[in-house]
Amino acid sequence: MLPTRRPHLRTLACGLLCGALSMTALAATAPSGRLAYLQGGAAWVLGHPDARPQRLPNSRGAALLAAAPVGGALAYFTGPAGASVSGETVPPLTPWLSAAPYTAAVRLPAAPEGLRARWLDWSGDGRELQVGTDAGLRGWKWPGPARLSPERTFLSRSTSSDGEVTAELGSVASPDEPGVVLYGPGARPGTEVFSRALPQTLMSALKAQPGLRAFTSGLDPAAQRDAANWVITRPEVTRDGRQVFVATNAGWGVGSGGTTTFAVLRLDVQEVRLSALGWIGALAGSALELRPSPDGQRLLLLQTRHVSAAESPTLAFVADLRARTVRVVEATRPLPGRTVVLAGACWLADSRHLALSVARPRPQELGAQELGAQRNLQPAPGAFELLVLDARSGAVVRRIPGATQPACGPA
């Protein structure tokens, strides 16, 4: 019988140390940040993505949900069972607000009959909540009473976490002019970054990028002079207020189903310097959304492509701004015979993970759905799955069946 060799103390120490380092690495890569969502006709929140879900009070019949980027308050609108905000008409909905630890909720002041709300969004500083209704805009500010909002829709502007930097669509001359205006450090009281009437800064940034030569060579100056040919995404201010990201077709023109070609640009707020991200390339589609990560180091690009009246799949990409790489989120790649529909996407507070609600229906199934007497091109909520993904690898770290409208809050 061979003698048993006793492990050396150095081997034991290394084993313990290496194990501890591995556990530390795992903890460092685990998702962090609050995550709320709709599921089973109610609103739920997770203190962190690995936690057990907590049902929000008075959330039965929740149809809309949004998380404040500062403070983490959750706003949600409730209505009758099965209420949808994407049908031809929306039933009256009741607005609620719940703050951490989410054990109580208060009803926001509104008309007794409720609000026929379509969308819900917070300002970047978490001080204002805005809702788009069939009757127009409604807004609440803190501190302050509820009021009808005379301001422009959040769909056209964004704000930094401290409220010092705002970027919005329009020009100095008119909010309806295609362009981007910046307010904040380096740009007070307001700077027209570019517009249809003054496209020189934009064109210089685009032409400086070899990767966009095909895009710029296809631009027709005559077409650029027509405002109807311009598409510009909402300019997205990063949380720290140092950068703004925006995409535009620069007057390329709009084809069938709204199809056009976009280039992505970054604005240095302090220097008011515009540069094109030529390494991303030109993106063709009928719509494009940009979502900067909380640390401003990555971009989530949601690109919708028009195929038919019942089929407009959305593909998600992650652009790493430091590494200058672009990777498709495989969970949004269409499978044969199926399309992709998203019911919300957001960055977790750690800037390393994403939450996306994804469904992959057959295109013919979308037009066949009925909501009462109304046709609906959205799959039923049960067809969606909420995925928490690693932004670098695309690996899914958590799945929540039947969950929609992910809302990411602070850590």
Domains of the chain, by residue range, sit at 34-151
pLDDT at 17 exceeding the cut of 50 = no
CATH superfamily, domain 34-151, is: TolB, C-terminal domain (2.120.10.30)
pLDDT at 145: 54
Half-sphere exposure of 372 (CA within 13 A, CB side): 11
CA–CA separation, 317 and 247 (whole Å): 14
Could you read off the pLDDT of 136-184 as tens digits, one per residue?
888 888 765 545 444 567 889 999 999 999 999 999 999 899 999 999 8
Please state which of the ranges 213-222, 263-272, 301-310 shows the lowest mean pLDDT.
301-310
How many beta carbons lie within 10 A of that of residue 289, not counting itself? 17
Q: Judge whether 206 and 194 are in contact, CB under 8 Å.
A: no
pLDDT at 365: 78
Average pLDDT over residues 18-32: 53
pLDDT at 21 exceeding the cut of 80 = no
Could you read off the pLDDT of 91-106 as tens digits, one per residue?
999 999 999 999 999 9
CA–CA separation, 232 and 180 (whole Å): 8
pLDDT at 370 exceeding the cut of 80 = no
Average pLDDT over residues 256-263: 90
The angle formed by the CA atoms of residues 199, 205 and 209, to the nearest 5 degrees, is: 140
High-pLDDT (> 90) share of the chain, %: 69
Could you read off the pLDDT of 274-329 as tens digits, one per residue?
999 999 999 999 889 999 999 999 999 999 888 776 678 899 999 999 999 999 99
Q: For residue 123, what are its two tokens?
A: 């300002």
pLDDT at 11 exceeding the cut of 50 = no
| Most confident residue range from 21-25, 326-330, 372-376 | 326-330
Q: Judge whether 249 and 231 are in contact, CB under 8 Å.
A: yes
Instruction: Name the band, by pLDDT with cuts 50, 70 and 90, for residue 80.
Output: very high
pLDDT at 49 exceeding the cut of 80 = no
pLDDT at 110: 83
Report DSSP state, residue 215. H
pLDDT at 390: 96
Q: For residue 174, what are its two tokens?
A: 């008119």
| Most confident residue range from 8-17, 147-156, 200-209, 217-226 | 200-209
- Integer CA distances (angstroms), 328 to 176, 240, 290, 301, 395, in order: 34, 26, 14, 9, 12
Half-sphere exposure of 212 (CA within 13 A, CB side): 28
Instruction: Name the band, by pLDDT with cuts 50, 70 and 90, for residue 68.
Output: very high
How many beta carbons lie within 10 A of that of residue 301, not counting itself? 24
Residue 65 phi/psi, 5-degree rounding, is -150, 140
Q: What is the pTM of this model?
A: 0.88
Q: Judge whether 66 and 121 are in contact, CB under 8 Å.
A: yes
The contacts of residue 285 (CB under 8 Å, 6+ apart) are 259, 260, 262, 303, 304, 305, 306
